[in-house]
């Protein structure tokens, strides 16, 4: 079954938008999964887009004055406010369009931030923007720690992962808490479209962004973005690690339309062990077999919970 | 001789540091970051484009004959294309010192 | 001359904003600013102006939403006070660095802690160095006039900087008093449509908020400073235009009986009116006392201050904020440093007064002038503090 | 310049009265201020509000400490708050009460000018509510002569819309029935 999915992905690149909206010459690390995700997101969004980006890796690698890697209109203000800057952009464009001061064309405001700019410091602004119902998309490029400042833990860092502020100590083995479930928080805001995605599944990611782009109202996409530098993994495995996260059920790919959950990329019936996913990542290297077992149980539990939602959830429009 | 920077003087700074040239990051050549380069064996290539779609540098493109190649001005040599290439048509080759 | 209308000043501020036909407002409620937010939302919800009113979840987001909206080319307004202002502090220097002409009303209120909702200037002084045009209103009429003027100042192609109109919390915001409103036609004639130099639109993609490496940051800071310093010329020009059209004259430093004064009081904001009554009383007794009111705080009007100080022997700077552990009040400290090289500079006495809503009566101003006359040195002093 | 201090309880509309009085004065071409005692008082708490009225522009922005007129909206405040505090020699105290003036004077140990009116009773009859704030304005106009009676028309109409007529009637009754003594 997995094989068919992979084949499907393999033969689709030629169908994908050729135009790039993020130029070469950006300063991202070798094998950066986040900039790959960003590149695909922008392809799906197309030219009629305004991006409000949070401070972070994608900001720093793209816009050292006087140059920019962005080919769509772009604004960066600060770290914690990408969502509300995007909502300001949306309001500005809406008012100017209504008043005939700009072309009468549909331009989407999109907020983009890393996991810190989404789940931690950016949470309040995001919650406000989603609750107010702006016609905007918010994309979280989640690489599971504060990579820009040197790999410090965030609330999106997985359980027991080692970062520079959750080191693998003799007393405390890395991150003490589990990953915050951002998509669930967004669903609780009754955001009409919430999805998870991963650039290792480019077609799935692009389809979801396009869906969100088309929708009138707020939408949220949480993109799992591998960070070879922060995860202490080989650059060339950036795409593979994303695939493993999905195949192990560590990061399932699903979407929630009006409260109705649906798995968009099937996980193999017998999910791979999390140990396979950990193997090439330095941040999990300290884990003992017992600890890996605990992690596996957590993943199994969360996966079961998700499957329950997929089975039982109903659209609030029904 | 050292090349003149732009903007040089304070009055040359654009108001608000707005950049009016989209995609101008491409003036910076990241190819110098590379220790290994990808080399395509077109005999094995099935022209699927997976290398193109997974390139974080947006530097792999399709030529008129349907084969793919990386723009070495930008390729940082991450090796994703080699790792992801299904028919194993790409090899990473050490850059000459 | 149009008829005087009685109205609460906060409501008048919102009405002035409406006359400017804004496109977007993002305001978070806070005492004593809330009546501005309430009335502005009322204006929008009743379709009196065609604008988006964003009910943000914090002041930080208010300023952030303003930045985003202003970057699209929209005319944008927000209002805040005290804690709200310092919550948006992070975004203030960014907005000015991005040259976004956001206009803000600030209902001056003391900073916590301890919590105090009443009037002083510690809020605005704590964000003094953010690169905004900073104006102080004395009464309701000035709140209307300065609000309308500041859109023109901020959006002027020679300026492109954000502007804040300070109105004393409660003393002005909650005061019902007579004011004259310009008509919509008059405002339309005075205030042109905004013509932004760059906007966020796919027809011409630009990148805003690019970061600076050390090799360019100093030049950028210099450019920003020059823009604010030079904005004074445009501000003066706009005040001339205002006078021509509406007959009311605005100057960076207002003077009252200053020509022959040996002692000058320097105030900001609404207390100046009470101080002017004190000057009248002292003049009646033959004392050569006058009043200076600093209306323009940033850019600082040094030449205007200098010429107003000619012949003055004692300058009493009344600060409604203080720099803890520093050289006194921010205004006193700054004026001392600006006049440091002037050979004929007056003796400068700095009082910290009117903090957190402590009422200042006519007698208090007279008492401060008397105290200044007896004071031997130039150290700062708390006025009216219980010992 | 005439300075007025109002005593009421949060929710009794002292601020509305102050606003109406200021608006009426401005309507008449005079200058006026109307402002509450700035604070966090909630419904039921004793509150104060102020007016200044003058033919000249008003420049003083401090609080009012020596009022020409003190208005007491709620008679129960008289034993709780020192309502006559700072009242000017020759000043006027206006109280909403049904009691005889002697009893007020005794309670407050007050010998100055006094005006009383049973505004609560009038309000209950005319408006169906024991809210005396606008009704009291009638007594003030009569007792102080600070404004023309008709100057309140526009502010009352703008404020109360379809119940403006009832308010005006209550005002007029207070105007006619207020008892003033030296």
C154, C133 in Cβ contact below 8 A?
A: yes
Give CA–CA dist C35/C30, Å, rounded. 9
ipTM of the shown complex: 0.95
pLDDT tens column, C182-240: 999 999 999 999 999 999 999 999 999 999 999 999 999 999 999 999 999 999 999 99
Number of domains in chain C: 2
Structure tokens at C24: 């977007």
Q: Residue A317 domain-assigned?
A: no
> What is the C-alpha to C-alpha distance for residues B65 and B30, in angstroms, rounded to an integer?
27
Pairing mode, strands D113-117 and D92-96: parallel
Q: Which residues of C touch D27 (CB under 8 A)?
A: 6
Residue C64: pLDDT above 50? yes
Q: Would residue B90 count as lying in a domain?
A: yes
Has residue A141 been placed in a domain?
yes
DSSP state of A288: -
Residues 6 or more apart whose CB falls under 8 angstroms from that of D120 comprise: D96, D98, D130, D132, D135
At residue C189, φ and ψ (nearest 5 deg) are -70, -35
The pLDDT assigned to C2 comes to 65
Per-residue confidence band for A12, with pLDDT thresholds at 50, 70 and 90:
low
Beta bridge partners of C315: C264, C348
Residues in chain B: 97
Tokens of C43: 């204006």
C171-D146-D98 Cα angle (round to 5): 95
Instruction: Report the distance separating Cα A91 and Cα A105, nearest Å.
Output: 14
Work out the minimum CA distance from C276 to partner chain D, whole angstroms.
8
Q: The tokens 């030296």 sit on which residue? A: D182
Q: 0.90 cut: is pTM over it?
A: yes
The total of structural domains in chain A comes to: 1
The average pLDDT across C135-146 equals 98
Nearest Cβ partner for C223 among B5, B13, B18: B13
3-state secondary structure of A67: coil
Asked, as a colleague might, if the bond just before C293 is cis with ω within 30 of 0, I would say no
List, in order, residues 6 or more apart from A17 with CB less than 8 Å away: A43, A44, A46, A206
Of C204, C220, C246, at which residue does a domain stop?
Answer: C246
The alpha carbon of residue C205 is apart from the nearest alpha carbon of chain A, in Å, by 4
Which chains touch A (3+ CB pairs under 8 A)?
Answer: B, C
Tell me which of C246, C262, C289 is where a domain ends: C246
Residues in chain C, overall count: 387
Joined tokens for residue B13: 């700074």
> Does any domain span residue A318?
no
Average pLDDT, chain A: 95
CATH, residue A278: 3.40.50.970
Chain B nearest C-alpha distance from A131 (Å): 31
Write the pLDDT tens digit of every residue in D87-120.
999 999 999 999 999 999 999 999 999 999 999 9
Report the share of chain A in percent with pLDDT over 70.
96
Residues C95, C233: one domain?
yes
pLDDT of amino acid D43: 87
pLDDT for C1: 46
Residues C236 and C260 reside in one and the same domain: no
Place of tokens 């204006």: C43
Q: Examine residue A16 and state whether it is found in any structural domain, yes or no.
A: yes
Phi, psi of B69 (to 5 degrees): -150, 155
Q: Which of C23, C201, C205 sits opposite A95 (nearest CB)?
A: C23
* Beta-carbon separation of C68 and A92 below 8 A: yes
Mutate to test the interface with A, among C62, C207, C215 (most CBs of A within 10 A): C207
Contact C76 A71 (CB under 8 A): no
| pLDDT over 70, % of chain C | 99
Among A90-94, A186-190, A261-265, D79-83, the least confident range:
D79-83
Q: Supply the range of the domain harboring residue B77.
A: 28-94
Q: What is the mean pLDDT of chain D?
A: 94
In this prediction, residue C3 has a pLDDT band, given cuts at 50, 70 and 90, of: confident
Q: Across the interface, do C71 and A89 touch by the CB < 8 Å criterion?
A: yes
d(CA C162, CA C151): 9
**Which residues fall within 8 angstroms of residue A231, CB to CB, at 6 or more apart?**
A143, A144, A241, A281, A282, A283
What is the radius of gyration, based on Cα positions, of chain A? 19
Q: Is C229 in the same domain as C115?
A: yes
Q: Is the pLDDT assigned to residue A10 strictly greater than 70?
A: no
Residues 6 or more apart whose CB falls under 8 angstroms from that of C75 comprise C20, C21, C22, C23, C24, C151, C155, C194
Residue A6 has pLDDT above 60, yes or no: no
Taking the Cβ of residue B39 and every Cβ of chain A, the question of whether any pair is shorter than 8 Å is answered with no
CA-based nearest residue to D136, from D117, D154, D113, D161: D117
Beta-carbon separation of B18 and C219 below 8 A: no
The residue count for chain A: 318
In this structure, the number of other CB atoms found within 10 A of the CB of residue A318 comes to 7
A88 chain-C contacts, CB cut-off 8 A: 24, 26, 54, 64-72, 76
Instruction: Tell me if C387 is assigned to some domain.
Output: no
Residue C24 CA, distance from chain mean position: 21
Which residues constitute the domain of residue A58?
2-312
User: Would you say residue C217 lies in a domain?
Assistant: yes
Residue of B nearest to C98 (CA): B16
Q: Mean pLDDT throughout C120-142?
A: 98
Return d(Cα B46, Cα B18) in angstroms, integer. Answer: 43
- Number of C/D CB contacts below 8 angstroms equals 67
Task: Please determine, for residue B39, whether its predicted confidence score (pLDDT) is greater than 80.
Answer: yes
**What's the pLDDT at A2?**
40
User: Measured between alpha carbons, how far is A186 from D146 in angstroms, rounded to an integer?
Assistant: 61
- Is the per-residue pLDDT at A101 higher than 50? yes
Residue from the list A66, A89, A124 with its beta carbon closest to the beta carbon of C200: A89
As a whole number of angstroms, the distance between CA D170 and CA A238 comes to 81
Residue B11 belongs to a domain: no
Annotate A243-284 with three-state secondary structure: HHHHHCCCCCCEEEECCEEEECCCCCCCCCCHHHHHCCCHHH
| Residue of C61, C91, C216 to mutate, testing the A interface (most A Cβ within 10 Å of its Cβ) | C61
Q: How do beta strands D113-117 and C314-319 pair? A: unpaired
Same structural domain for residues C122 and C236?
yes
Structural domain boundaries, residue D47: 2-181
With an 8 Å Cβ cutoff, are B33 and A236 in contact?
no
* Domain boundaries, position C27: 4-246
Maximal CA-CA distance, chain C:
69
Last residue of a domain, one of C228, C246, C264: C246
- D72 within 8 A of D7, measured Cβ to Cβ: yes
Of the partner residues C72, C94, C193, the one whose CB lies closest to the CB of residue A89: C72
CA distance B2 to chain C (A): 14
pLDDT of A1? 35
User: Residues for chain D: how many in total?
Assistant: 182
Helix (H, G, I), strand (E, B), or coil: what is residue A104? coil
Model confidence at A136: pLDDT above 90 = yes
Residue C268 sits in the same domain as residue C342: yes
CATH number at residue C365: 3.40.50.920
- D41 shares contact with chain C (CB less than 8 Å): no
Nearest by CB: C215 against B5, B15, B18: B5
Q: Check residue C247 and give left, alpha or beta (phi > 0: left; psi -120 to 50: alpha).
A: left
Cβ–Cβ < 8 Å for A25, A35: no
Interface check C175 vs D, CB under 8 A:
yes
B13 is a domain residue: no
Whether C202 and A72 lie within 8 Å, measured CB to CB? yes
Question: Could you tell me if C203 and C267 lie in one domain?
Answer: no
Q: What is the CATH number of the domain that holds D118?
A: 3.40.920.10
The answer to the question of residue A113 being in a domain is: yes
Band of pLDDT at residue A3, cut at 50, 70 and 90: very low
Helix axes C271-284, C362-374, angle to 10 degrees: 70
B93 beta partners: B37
Residue B5 lies in a domain: no
Closest CA in chain C for residue D57: C178
Q: Is the pLDDT reported for residue C373 higher than 70? A: yes
D122 to D17, D45, D71, D97: CA distances (angstroms): 16, 24, 17, 11
- Looking at residue B97, its pLDDT comes to 64
Share of chain D above pLDDT 90, in %: 90
D159 pLDDT more than 60: yes
The DSSP secondary-structure symbol of A64 reads B
Q: How do residues A19-52 score in pLDDT, each as one tens digit?
A: 999 999 999 999 999 999 999 999 999 999 999 9
Tens-place pLDDT, residues C154-177: 999 999 999 999 999 999 999 999
Are C202 and A128 in contact (CB < 8 Å)? no
Whether residue C293 sits in one domain with residue C193: no
Chains A and D touch (3+ CB pairs under 8 A): no
Total domains in the fold of chain D: 1
pLDDT at A11: 55
């Amino acid at each position: 079954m997995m094989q068919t999915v992979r084949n499907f992905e393999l033969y689709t690149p030629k169908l994908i938008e050729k135009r790039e909206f993020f130029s070469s010459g950006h300063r991202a690390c070798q094998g950066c999964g986040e900039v790959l995700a960003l590149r695909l997101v922008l392809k799906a969004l197309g030219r009629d887009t305004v991006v409000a980006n949070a401070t972070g890796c994608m900001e720093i690698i793209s816009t050292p004055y006087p140059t920019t890697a962005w080919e769509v209109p772009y604004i960066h203000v600060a770290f914690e406010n990408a969502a509300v800057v995007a909502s300001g952009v949306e309001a500005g464009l809406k008012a100017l369009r209504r008043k005939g001061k700009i072309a009468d064309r549909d331009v989407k405001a999109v907020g983009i931030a890393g996991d810190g700019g989404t789940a931690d410091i950016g949470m309040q602004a995001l919650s406000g923007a989603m609750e107010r119902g702006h016609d905007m998309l918010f994309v979280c490029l989640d690489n599971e720690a504060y990579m820009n400042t040197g790999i410090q833990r965030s609330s999106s860092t997985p359980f027991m992962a080692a970062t520079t502020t959750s080191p693998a100590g003799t007393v405390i083995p890395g991150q003490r808490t589990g990953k915050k479930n951002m998509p669930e928080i967004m669903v609780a805001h009754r955001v009409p479209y919430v999805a998870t995605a991963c650039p290792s599944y480019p077609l799935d990611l692009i389809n979801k962004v396009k869906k969100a782009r088309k929708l009138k109202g707020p939408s949220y996409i949480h993109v799992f973005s591998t960070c070879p530098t922060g995860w202490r993994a080989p650059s060339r495995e950036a795409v593979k690690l994303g695939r493993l996260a999905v195949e192990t059920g560590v990061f399932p790919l699903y979407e929630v339309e009006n409260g109705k959950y649906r798995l968009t990329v099937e996980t193999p019936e017998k999910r791979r062990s999390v140990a396979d996913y950990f193997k090439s990542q330095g941040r999990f290297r300290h884990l003992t077999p017992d600890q890996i077992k605990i992690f596996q149980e957590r993943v199994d539990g969360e996966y079961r919970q998700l499957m329950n939602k997929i089975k039982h959830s109903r659209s609030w429009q029904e | 001789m050292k090349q003149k920077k732009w903007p040089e003087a304070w009055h040359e700074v654009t108001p608000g540091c707005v950049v009016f040239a989209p995609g101008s990051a491409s003036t910076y050549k990241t190819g110098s970051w590379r220790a290994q380069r990808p080399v395509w064996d077109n005999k094995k290539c099935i022209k699927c484009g997976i290398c193109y779609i997974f390139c974080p540098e947006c530097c792999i493109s399709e030529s008129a004959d349907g084969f793919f190649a990386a723009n070495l001005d930008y390729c940082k040599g991450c090796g994703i294309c080699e790792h992801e290439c299904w028919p194993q048509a790409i090899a990473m080759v050490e850059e000459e010192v | 001359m149009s008829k005087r209308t009685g109205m609460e000043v906060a409501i008048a501020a919102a009405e002035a904003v409406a006359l400017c036909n804004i496109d977007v407002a993002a305001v978070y409620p806070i005492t004593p600013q809330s009546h501005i937010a309430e009335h502005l939302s009322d204006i929008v919800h009743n379709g009196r102006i065609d604008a988006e009113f964003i009910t943000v979840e914090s002041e930080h987001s208010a300023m952030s939403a303003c930045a985003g909206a202003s970057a699209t080319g929209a005319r944008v307004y927000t209002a805040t006070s005290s804690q709200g202002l310092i919550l948006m502090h992070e975004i203030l220097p960014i907005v000015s660095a991005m040259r976004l002409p956001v206009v803000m009303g600030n209902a001056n209120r003391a900073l916590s802690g301890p919590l105090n909702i009443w009037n002083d200037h510690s809020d605005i002084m704590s964000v003094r160095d953010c690169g905004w045009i900073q104006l102080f209103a004395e009464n309701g009429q000035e709140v209307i006039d300065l609000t309308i003027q500041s859109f023109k100042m901020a959006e002027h192609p020679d300026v492109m900087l954000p502007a804040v109109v300070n109105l004393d919390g409660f003393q002005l915001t909650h005061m019902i008093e007579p004011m004259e409103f310009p008509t919509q036609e008059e405002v339309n004639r005075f205030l042109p449509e905004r013509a932004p130099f760059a906007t966020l639109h796919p027809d011409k993609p630009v990148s805003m908020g690019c970061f600076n490496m050390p090799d360019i940051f100093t030049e950028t800071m210099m450019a920003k400073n020059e823009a604010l310093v030079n904005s004074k010329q445009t501000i003066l020009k706009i005040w001339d235009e205002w006078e021509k059209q509406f007959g009311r004259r605005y100057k960076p430093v207002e003077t009252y009986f200053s020509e022959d004064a040996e002692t000058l009081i320097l105030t900001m904001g609404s207390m100046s009116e009470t101080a002017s009554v004190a000057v009248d009383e002292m003049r009646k007794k033959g004392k050569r006392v006058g009043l200076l009111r600093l209306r323009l705080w940033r850019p600082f009007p040094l030449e205007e201050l200098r010429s107003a100080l000619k012949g003055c022997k004692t300058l009493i700077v009344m600060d409604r904020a203080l720099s803890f552990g520093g050289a006194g009040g921010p205004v006193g400290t700054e004026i001392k440093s600006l006049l440091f090289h002037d050979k004929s500079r007056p003796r400068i006495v700095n009082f910290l007064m009117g903090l957190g809503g402590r009422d200042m009566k006519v007698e208090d101003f007279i008492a401060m002038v008397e105290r200044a006359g007896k004071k031997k040195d130039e150290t700062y002093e708390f006025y009216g503090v219980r010992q | 310049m005439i300075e007025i201090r109002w005593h009421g309880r949060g929710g009794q509309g002292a601020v509305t009265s102050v606003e109406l009085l200021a608006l009426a004065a401005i309507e008449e071409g005079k200058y006026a201020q109307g402002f509450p005692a700035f604070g966090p008082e909630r419904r039921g708490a004793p509150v104060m509000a102020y007016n200044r009225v003058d033919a000249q522009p008003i420049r003083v922005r401090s609080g009012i400490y020596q009022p020409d007129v003190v208005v007491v909206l709620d008679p129960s405040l008289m034993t709780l708050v020192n309502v006559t505090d700072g009242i000017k020699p020759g000043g006027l105290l206006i109280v909403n009460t049904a009691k005889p003036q002697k009893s007020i004077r005794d309670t407050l140990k007050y010998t100055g000018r006094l005006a009383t009116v049973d505004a609560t009773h009038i309000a209950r009859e005319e408006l169906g509510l024991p809210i005396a704030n606008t009704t009291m304005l009638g007594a003030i106009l009569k007792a102080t002569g600070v404004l023309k009676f008709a100057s309140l028309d526009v502010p009352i109409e703008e404020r109360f819309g379809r119940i403006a007529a009832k308010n005006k009637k209550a005002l007029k009754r207070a105007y006619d029935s207020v008892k003033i003594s030296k």
